[in-house]
Amino acid sequence: MERFKNILVVHEDGENGRATLARAVKLADRNGANLTLIRIIDQIPDDYKMLITAMTPDEIMQESVREQEKKLTQYVSSFAIPISVQVSSGREFIEIIRQVLKNGHDLVIKTARGMTSSWGMLFGSTAMHLLRKCPCPVWLVKPGSGERYRRIMAAVDVAPPEIGENDLNVKIIELAGSLARLEKSELHIVQAWEKPDETFLSDHLNNTLGDMNILLHESKNMHIQRLHDFLDDFDLQGLQYQEHVIPGWADDVIPEFAGEKNIDLIVMGTVCRTGIAGFFMGNTAEKILHRVTCSVLAVKPDDFTTPVSLEK
């Protein structure tokens, strides 16, 4: 995690927000990083509406921003390292991304505040917008996740060597490994194996049951070897890690494995594409994020460009 040198934390009221900021302070202190706490005001607070006859809405919002800056400055003074504060008005995810673009933040940390359930939906609308559009990694911290992560999952999709499109997987392993060292965590490296359809093999390739079993066995071994060869390029010495190649679709395998193993944090990529309405996460990543109930650290490809601009 030493790569992060300019961290942005989204302020959240209450104990959950304070725990998230404390985690960010720990990371910033270890990395010698700059740390900024940002709060976004998206509408005139109720206690300021009584002034609306004496001041314009813009003046009221400016006064509210100044007041919040004073409160945040006092709030961060109790932490052990210097923390800058930033208060802006507007739509939350847009102002967060503008702050990233303006000041070159390399990590956004935010408390997840969606509705938790046995089937997911941990992340609210602002979090999902950040996962889709924020140009730097986004770390969404599940409320009550504890002082450290005991089990971390790196969710990868290793491409064949002849394709060579593994830059995003490299970032995932580097981040997950570094964080596992910091947290002294178990590291589970997971690759989904979409095994060939047995009915197709039987009906169209005239394979016997024995032939199909051999093909399936060889296919799984190929994926196991591919993952093992990929990991040979990383220094994983001293880490308590396991490699898993699991049959099934990634959007099923990843959430199920996370639940079975009580994973505290998933490090994963969001592969984006251009669509009619802008930039969207890959369909698989979107489905995974709607089903997991743990913290997530999401990274994007190096060539990702956010649709958000600095212009108001």
Taking the C-alpha atoms of residue 45 and residue 100, their distance in angstroms, rounded to an integer, is 25
Q: Does residue 78 sit in the same domain as residue 176?
A: no
In a domain, 135, yes or no: no
155 domain-assigned? yes
Residue 43's domain comprises 1-111
Q: Are 38 and 65 in contact (CB under 8 A)?
A: no
DSSP H or E segment with residue 123:
none
- Residue 187 counted as domain residue: yes
Q: pLDDT of 26-59, one tens digit each?
A: 999 989 999 999 999 876 655 555 555 566 667 7
**Degrees, nearest 5: CA angle 281-287-289:** 80
Do 166 and 302 lie in one domain? The reply is yes
Cα separation, 117 vs 293, in Å, equals: 7
Q: How far apart are CA 112 and CA 128, in angstroms?
A: 10
What does the pLDDT look like over 255-301, one tens digit per residue? 999 999 999 999 999 864 444 333 345 678 888 888 898 999 999 88
Residues 165 and 309 in one domain: yes
Residues 160 and 243 in one domain: yes
Give the pLDDT confidence score for residue 3 in this predicted structure: 78
Compute the Cα dihedral for 302, 234, 236, 259 and give only its sign.
Answer: positive
pTM for this one?
A: 0.85
Same domain for 170 and 74: no
Query: 254 and 268 in contact (C-beta within 8 Å)?
Result: yes
Mean pLDDT of the chain: 84
> Does 128 fall in a domain?
no
CA 189 to chain centre: 16
Whole-number Å distance between alpha carbons of 115 and 113: 7
CB contact at 8 A, 40 and 90: yes
Is 127 part of any domain? no
Q: Give the Cα separation of 264 and 142 in Å (integer).
A: 9
Do 41 and 89 form a contact (C-beta atoms < 8 A)? yes
How many structural domains does the chain have?
2
Report the C-alpha gap between 250 and 266 in whole angstroms.
Answer: 13
Residue 297 falls within a domain, yes or no?
yes
Q: Are residues 154 and 90 in the same domain?
A: no
67 and 185 share one domain: no
Which CATH number is 72's domain given?
A: 3.40.50.620
Ordered per-residue pLDDT tens for the chain, 312 residues: 567 999 999 999 999 999 999 999 999 998 999 999 999 987 665 555 555 556 666 777 788 888 899 999 999 999 989 999 999 888 999 999 999 999 999 999 999 876 444 444 567 788 889 998 999 999 999 998 877 899 999 999 887 766 667 888 999 999 999 999 988 999 999 999 876 555 555 555 555 656 667 777 787 888 899 999 999 999 999 999 999 999 888 889 999 999 999 999 999 998 644 443 333 456 788 888 888 989 999 998 888 889 999 876
Please, is 54 exposed, middle or buried when counting C-beta atoms within 10 Å of its C-beta (0-12, 13-18, 19+)? exposed
Give a yes or no: residue 125 inside a domain: no
Query: Which of 111, 130, 164 finishes a domain?
Result: 111
Write the DSSP symbol of residue 80.
Answer: S
Q: Domain end: 89, 111, 133, which one?
A: 111
Residues 247 and 295 in one domain: yes
Same domain, 69 and 183: no
Are residues 103 and 95 in contact, defined by beta-carbon separation less than 8 angstroms?
A: no
24 and 158 in a single domain? The answer is: no
Rounded Cα distance, 63 and 61, in Å: 5
Q: Which among 274, 293, 272 has a CA at the least distance from the CA of 284? A: 272
The reply to whether 83 and 159 lie within a common domain is no
Among 63, 95, 111, identify where a domain stops: 111
Which tokens sit at 129?
């917008």
Q: Is 7 helix (H, G, I), strand (E, B) or coil?
A: strand
| Same domain? 102 vs 197 | no
CB within 8 A of 286, min separation 6: which ones? 280
The answer as to whether 59 is a domain residue is yes
